Amino acid sequence: MVKYQVIKKSKTASGEVNIMSDGISAEAMQAHATIEALLSENRVFPPPEWFRAQANVNDPNIYDTATKDPEAFWAQFARELDWFEPWHQVLEWDPPHAQWFLGGKLNASVNCIDRHVRTARRNKAAIIWEGEPGEERVLTYWDLYREVTKFANVLKRLGVHRGDRVVIYMPMVPEAVVAMLACARIGAPHSVVFGGFSAEALRERINDCGAKVVVTADGGYRRGNIVQLKRATDEAVEHCPTVQHVIVLNRAMDATHVPMLEGRDHWWHRLMEHAPIHCEPEAMDAEDLLFILYTSGSTGKPKGIAHTTGGYLTGVYATTKWVFDLKEDDVFWCTADIGWVTGHSYVVYGPLANGATILMYEGAPDYPERDRLWELVEKYRVTVFYTAPTAIRAFMKWGPQYPKRHDLSSLRLLGSVGEPINPEAWMWYHVYIGGERCPIVDTWWQTETGHILITPLPGITTTKPGSATRPFPGIEADVVDERGESVPLGAGGYLVIKKPWPGMLRTIYGDPERYVKQYWSRFPGVYFTGDGCKRDEEGYYWLLGRVDDVMNVAGHRISTMEVESALVDHPAVAEAAVIGRSHDIKGQAIAAFVTLKEGYRASSDLMDELKEHVVKKIGPIARPDDLHFTSELPKTRSGKIMRRLLRDIAEGRALGDTTTLADPSVVAALRQRYEEQEV
Ligand code: PRX
């Protein structure tokens, strides 16, 4: 029943009308028809026998084993890591505060590098990299060791001590990974800021964590253009009193054209010239901070999610090993940028802790052509591929002729992350990328969870297109109603996690109260994810998207309040309300409703200016797709903006209940204006 509903919803969401009106090729149309046929069969996908037989885990009993003793379950993975000193207690749970592997001492960079260079993996490729313009580089584990230890010494020489924060604002180049691991080596928590964030967003994050050093590049390539990272860094750092040094990688420009501030700015290559190789790793406590990563919540201010060393590393190590089934000769490609948590956990820490070979690509998937990713899969014989539904929906729209140009037979496992995957996209991925032979793992997790929590295990789980299936072993999830009571199978509610897990966030950096309030107060003692979820009769989880004011735009998490604050920061804007409306490819698109101050007139120039203002405040990922001027916003009698109504208007639906509205004519007027603008 539930499956039927979800499939139905997705069919309307990506609608045939759109597909045809976009002028899609006949081949794509045919593909669509094939997938429709498959969908109507309501198929389920048991693990293929060839996969099951070789999988890292294929015994279904592990679920029971882990449930009986989750601590022992996680400790077994932790023991596969290298520790300077063992822990004396696996877990201390003082809700809502958890500590894992108490007393244990380890270093994340040692686990990602040193322990491999001591073995036959020493000369194995750790990172295969391709730049957008086509440069190729391979770094073996030994190369990575040299680069990381040298850069760790560079940081130390600039006065970075254990506990100091370092912000990394870089393109997808190997040096970004080197910088992260070098920070881990000396015990300096890093905070990676996505290169698509603006100078102002960067400044806010630098100041929130009080970084001493910023590591950046002159620029990075994106769709043939250069993203001016150094310029944005200069603008940001001007108002960052804690920053003493800026290290600049010469990636994309003529170095003589990059203004460098004497004493503050240093070229990466100059600092590395004389840096000694080898750097004693710091013995970090399992609960010492490994990194801070900012994400959007339901307020205007991004939250610094704090992850510690021992539990996080155990969690990403275990999930990479079991969910992605990594083997010695795999080439693992997670397409996420290291600026997001997926990049942290499944580009860097998880795969490298497993001694895997990762592929890193700097640029856009459609540059120079729409087959760039498939060209890379063929060229580097990628075996495990992990991407987001928004990308899959774009590939779908472009048509199967692009993957068909390439030999994708090296692929054996596919993954999806970041937003609900609609069954059509799942099927398309299965047929055209996976050649109908690769299992698909739809993995649910969050910046806060650190690692995957709900997912199939590819050698065990029978998958259903559109469902993330079941909690990972040792994870106790539930779906609850408003009162926090478990709903019966077949029903929907809020997704919660009832027991601590190793990679869970420990706090919000600098705001411990918000940590408690945000995650542990809605249902006391359990972790509130902010996601809606249905469980079908077989106990499979079907994620339904956020239930709070967080949007998921092309897999990027953006808060409505952040965009609203950016808009009201403009002198012309009196009030703004922002909602996420459904979108065929991006999952959600940003729709903004704006009232202007006295003396300002609505115009298309002002509309463009306001959109640009949001880009300046946050970055291009937050640019509103639609912006509507209105003389008033619909509010309840107590003054709360009724977003639900705005969503209805933006999605062209019949209006929901308007009885609590202070002035119902506001909505009617808005609706009319909206429809006029649409035409
Ligand atoms: O709404 C869920 C959605 O992404 C949110 C977390 O976003 P972020 O912290 O940026 O991390 C994204 C990558 C881990 C969740 O609250 N989400 C993530 N994965 C899935 C998903 N929704 C449905 N299915 C998924 N597989």
Taking only the tens place, the pLDDT of each residue in 347-400 is: 999 999 999 999 999 999 999 999 999 999 999 999 999 999 999 999 999 999
Pocket test for ligand 1, best of 312, 320, 531 (most atoms within 8 A of CB): 531
Whether 443 is in the pocket of ligand 1, judged by its Cβ within 6 Å, is yes
Pick the residue whose CA is nearest to atom 26 on ligand 1.
444
Q: Indicate the DSSP class of residue 32.
A: H
Residue 33 has pLDDT above 70, yes or no: no
Please state the atom number of ligand 1 nearest to the C-alpha of residue 454. Answer: 26
Per-residue pLDDT band at 301 (split at 50, 70, 90): confident
The two tokens of residue 171 are 């393109």
Per-residue pLDDT band at 12 (split at 50, 70, 90): very low
The two tokens of residue 227 are 């993203």
Going from the Cα of 272 to the center of ligand 1, the distance in angstroms, rounded, reads 38
**DSSP of 440-488, one letter per residue?**
EEEEB--TTT-S--B---TTTPPB-TT--BSBPTT--EEEE-TTSPBPP
Distance CA 449, CA 501 (A): 8
Going from the Cα of 388 to the center of ligand 1, the distance in angstroms, rounded, reads 10
What dihedral do alpha carbons 11, 14, 16, 21 form, nearest 10°? 170
Whether 388 is in the pocket of ligand 1, judged by its Cβ within 6 Å, is no
How many residues in total does the chain contain?
679
Whether 345 is in the pocket of ligand 1, judged by its Cβ within 6 Å, is no
Going from the Cα of 549 to the center of ligand 1, the distance in angstroms, rounded, reads 14
Share of the chain above pLDDT 90, in %: 85
Distance CA 540, CA 542 (A): 7
Q: What is the pLDDT of residue 27?
A: 47
Distance CA 142, CA 211 (A): 29
Contact present, 337 and 365 (Cβ < 8 Å): no
Whether 531 is in the pocket of ligand 1, judged by its Cβ within 6 Å, is yes
Whether 558 is in the pocket of ligand 1, judged by its Cβ within 6 Å, is no
**pLDDT mean across residues, the chain:** 92
The CA-CA-CA angle for residues 420, 426, 431, to 5°, reads: 165
Going from the Cα of 443 to the center of ligand 1, the distance in angstroms, rounded, reads 8
Per-residue pLDDT band at 37 (split at 50, 70, 90): low
Pick the residue whose CA is nearest to atom 23 on ligand 1.
420
Distance CA 42, CA 48 (A): 18
Please state the atom number of ligand 1 nearest to the C-alpha of residue 550. Answer: 1
Distance CA 352, CA 144 (A): 11
Share of the chain above pLDDT 70, in %: 92
Taking only the tens place, the pLDDT of each residue in 38-60 is: 445 478 999 999 999 999 999 99
Element (H, E) at 494: strand 492-497
Whether 530 is in the pocket of ligand 1, judged by its Cβ within 6 Å, is yes
Taking only the tens place, the pLDDT of each residue in 255-266 is: 999 999 999 999
331-334 and 527-535 beta bridge pairing: unpaired
For residue 679, what are the contacts with CB-CB under 8 A and spacing of at least 6? none
Whether 468 is in the pocket of ligand 1, judged by its Cβ within 6 Å, is yes
Q: What is the pLDDT of residue 90?
A: 98
For residue 591, what are the contacts with CB-CB under 8 A and spacing of at least 6? 578, 579, 580, 581, 624, 625, 626, 627, 628, 646, 650
Please state the atom number of ligand 1 nearest to the C-alpha of residue 421. Answer: 24
Whether 543 is in the pocket of ligand 1, judged by its Cβ within 6 Å, is yes
What's the whole-model pTM score?
A: 0.92
Taking only the tens place, the pLDDT of each residue in 123-182 is: 999 999 999 999 999 999 999 999 999 999 999 999 999 999 999 999 999 999 999 999
Q: What is the pLDDT of residue 656?
A: 67
**DSSP of 539-572, one letter per residue?**
--EEEEEESSSEEEETTEEEEHHHHHHHHHTSTT
